[in-house]
Structure 1
């Protein structure tokens, strides 16, 4: 006869195998869903200053200030396999030194059960909009894009871009007024 430990081991191994199979089925049931939705972004106020960067080199670098409006409905993104969303607003632009610059300006975590209809007006950026040189002043094509990571119960952690982006340009002159 089998001992109690042998029977307990067989039951535990069977249970874990069954749970792994069910978790895989959960993952497969939502992996092919389209998690994109439309986002409307608009800049309200845009300024650029030339200030010393005391953290790195003492040289003067461009620091951008902007306020933005954001409207989107993320209700359709939540299903039984989504725990939370990690939203982030990025700015992409090109300078003579770098072909691609990407800066995260704002982020937010939305948990299951929280309000998923976002209608923000006149929001300030959460993080500084530093450039590693003087590439913001007069830059004609800065694009704001809303993206998110979906944190699932089981499966991959996809990074998704929203439909819609907003392009704007920085002023040619540096601002001297306080922000």
Structure 2
């Protein structure tokens, strides 16, 4: 005869095994749901600055004591994306971001055509209706969001993005500090799907079953302009 403790351990072991199997089946069910995202990205405005003035949220040196001059680019873009197919009953939230990619000029011909530099310029998080409580929103905005998704297990409108002349959240620079007149730069749309159960999945580089690559999602190659220097007015001595 087994003791009460041994029987309890057996029941708990059986219970955890069942939970693991059910979780594995839930995670595997994502492979059955088609993913056919599509997007269009277009550049609207480009500016490059040389930062050597006192640091502030718009311009500055790498840090307060640095004497190094760096060039930063500010990009405005338009984005039209339909990511609604990424939302299934197992989707918790989708992290979407736009990056700028360009070749490394310091490699010369060896790095020509290779997008070895990449920096994120904008991002956002889209939650499923059942995960709205995870968003850091005010009471009024949260109430409006919950009302819009009431009764919807999967809200396909959550995955549709439309931005015109959107200002980038983050300005970018290059490892060598030189960015002006950089050629063959492109913008790319990426995403990361976080499920309730299972592993994180990123933008696929190849098509896998019913999961397709992003249709479009890459802008035309463009060239950054020359440096635009902003002069700081000097205070008159009193």
Matched, 1:133 2:186: no
Q: Give 2:120's aligned residue.
A: 104
Match of 2:80 among 71, 75, 81: 71
User: Counterpart of 2:91?
Assistant: 82
SS at the partner of 2:186? strand
- Give the total of aligned pairs: 177
Alignment of 1:162-173 (within 5 A): 162-164=214-216, 165-166=218-219, 167-171=221-225, 173=226
TM-score normalised over the length of structure 2: 0.67
Instruction: Report the Cα offset of residue 111 of structure 1.
Output: 0.5
Query: In the alignment, which residue of structure 2 is the partner of 1:175?
Result: 228
SS in 2 for 1:109: strand
Closer, same or farther: CA 106–168 of 1 in aligned 2, 3 Å:
same
Q: Kindly state the Cα deviation for residue 159 of structure 1 after the two structures are TM-superposed.
A: 1.2
Q: Which of the pair is proportionally richer in strand?
A: 1
CA distance in 2, matches of 1:2, 1:143: 67
**Ranges of 4+ aligned residues in structure 1 off by more than 6 Å:** none
Which structure shows the bigger proportion of residues in helix conformation?
2
Q: Is there any run of 5+ residues in structure 1 with no aligned partner, and where? A: none
> How far apart are the structure 2 equivalents of 1:15 and 1:66?
53
CA contact (8 A) 2:37 2:84 kept: no
Match of 1:54 in 2: 62
Instruction: Please give the alpha-carbon distance, in whole angstroms, between the structure 1 residues aligned to 2:105 and 2:66.
Output: 20
Task: Give 5+ residue unaligned stretches, structure 2.
Answer: 53-60, 130-154, 205-213, 232-238
CA RMSD of aligned residues (A): 2.2
Moved more, 149-158 or 104-113: 149-158
Q: TM-score, normalised by structure 1?
A: 0.87
Counterparts of 1:18-57 in structure 2 under 5 Å?
18-31=18-31, 35-52=35-52, 53-55=61-63, 57=66
Structure 1: how far apart are the matches of 2:71 and 2:34?
A: 38
Q: What secondary structure does 1:130 align onto?
A: coil
Distance 2:47 2:24 in 1: 50
